Chains A and B, each alone.
Chain A
Amino acid sequence: MFPEILSPAIVDLLIEATRQTLYMVAISGLVGTLIGLPLGVFLATSRSGELFAAPWLNHTLGLVVNAARSTPFIILVVAIIPFTRLIAGTSIGTNAAIVPLTVAAAPFIARLIEAAIREVDQGLVEAARAMGASPLQIVRKVLLPEALPSITLALTLAVVSLLGYSAMVGAVGGGGLGDLGIRFGYQRFMPEVMAAVVIVLIVLVQGVQSVGDLLARRLDKRNRG
């Protein structure tokens, strides 16, 4: 289908851009989850009277998360260039783009995980405490497993959002589908490239969402029988 409308060179570019987008989203999603998951669990369990009660730290981290989340992504990308250089060794290219993507994803994921954990019935926490479970055991054996369907949906949402964010990292030479769309589709007046980019993105988002939904349904044992 594509070869008839798009030249082989453009198709190659499209494939390369898709590969870059997937690479950026995968790494930033993974690292963002590694940071966001524990952060989210902590945010959900550290208000006063909760398992890891540390109201001050909870409040402070909450402020930091809010600050990160309220910064428009394109500004975040530029604002943290020194940090990006420190981590990635460069401020330009796909690897460099992963840094701001991760910085944006981690607090977003943390808030989603927090919401998912807070959904777990407090009665289960009480039951686990009554069994003699430690706070860490309650997180491992009760909160995370019970929240898993919600967490799956949360991470699906995060990945879809990252696909959107990744379109903006062209600003720092990150490449990817969004960058291709802007440079060829918009700046070179090639609407067929723009259309192809949008179609690929739609297919990716649909695919991610379907897989996420399916997984969450499989994991959810609440609506049986």
Chain B
Amino acid sequence: MNAPLSILPPPPASAGAAGAIHPVTDTAAVIRFEGVEKTFPARSGSGAVSALTDVNLAVPEGAIVGVIGRSGAGKSTLIRLVNGLERPTAGRIVVDGTDITALSERGLRQARRSIGMIFQHFNLLARRTAFENVALPLEIAGIPAREIKSRVEPLLDLVGLADKRDRYPAELSGGQKQRVGIARALATRPRVLLSDEATSALDPETTNQILALLRKVNAELKLTVLLITHEMAVIKAVADRVAVLDGGRIVEDGSTFDIFARPQHPTTRSFLSALTGSTLPPHLADRLKPAHTPGAEAVVRIVFTGTHATDPVLSRVSRLLSIDINIIQAQVDDIAGQPFGVIVVSLPGDAATVAGVTNAIARLGLASEVIGYVS
């Protein structure tokens, strides 16, 4: 990315530092990470690996919370700590009032029945039909066969696979397999659903269908969802809140809309760049200089949010300062149900004009950022 000369509002005091989290009221959190560390012991040929450092995160009841990070950021470890597939080196993970870290293996097995999980590669048993796969967690829980039947069939209906009941996974498409995975994860009527890159192996259209299904079960079953992904599009489509994981630390977290509107951390910005038009066209990016030279034009990014998203800001500023503003790139989107737009413009680059424009925009209640100069 081109070095962002940020004129965005500074982050709240002490934020940006490790674990700077504003926990949602603790009582409402269904999943809570408290000062969690995870270090994998040294193996022959490599030293100890620190996967997670001082992770604090609260997942409010009924919310869909996304954790985004690159591969190796520690997100797989993070989600596996919730159902005890991994144990933390330090700190606590509390799920639905139970301290997962304090449980014995036996206690953990019981707790896992109220935590469903879906996987990137579905992890369906090849020798079981769709019905039998969904029945598996119920068999494991020791539920009698007749009751299993009465519980599995509504689940297959819910995920839209009633007609695929007796099909084997090899006969299903990727999206259908993940639907079976979701039905299976819901079989024990969990309060929490963990989604481990559940759409990463699917094409965009199927991804949208699966995300829509996640939203549906979240709403209909009052299910709290924690998902990990490396795609901002997934966060944008379903998450109410998002935490950005980088190098084993949560570097930023907040409501999805706030993160999209006012990203603070470079990692967040880089994730967003692919989505919200903060990547400039190459012919422009190549010519972009960090400082003003005589005759150069300033390139300014303006973020439209909330109530101002639909205001005719540009024409107002143009009239107010009697300058020409050239639109380079524009995108209007909908994030977490709120309108959200990004416009990149070029305008005369002298300091007075730039200051005048950014002030005018700020007075209109919008954020702007000078991203460079082109001559």
Contact = CB atoms under 8 A, between A and B. Distances in A.
Contacts, number: 71
Contact of A132 (B121, B123, B141): B141
B47 to A, nearest CB: 18
Interface string B106-120: 001111110101010
Contacts of A132: 108-113, 137, 140-141, 188
Interface residues of A, number: 26
A130 B115 contact: yes
B197 to A, nearest CB: 12
B123 A121 contact: yes
Interface string B138-164: 011100000000000000000000000
Nearest to B109: A132
Nearest to B170: A224
Interface in B77-124: 83, 85, 108-113, 115, 117, 119, 121, 123
B140 A141 contact: yes
Contacts of B111: 132
A131 B188 contact: yes
A225 B177 CA distance: 14
A224 B85 contact: no
B257 to A, nearest CB: 31
Interface string B162-196: 00000011110000000000001000100000100
SS class, residues of chain B in contact with chain A: mixed
A128 B170 CA distance: 19
Nearest to A121: B123
A91 to B, nearest CB: 44
Interface stretch (A142-150, A160-168, A172-180): A142-150
B136 interface: yes
Contacts of B137: 131-132
Given A126-B123, A141-B139, 20 more contacts: A121-B121, A123-B119, A123-B123, A126-B119, A127-B119, A127-B123, A129-B85, A130-B85, A130-B112, A130-B115, A131-B188, A132-B108, A132-B137, A132-B141, A134-B109, A137-B140, A145-B127, A149-B127, A222-B170, A225-B171
Interface of B: 83, 85, 108-113, 115, 117, 119, 121, 123, 125-128, 136-137, 139-141, 168-171, 184, 188, 194
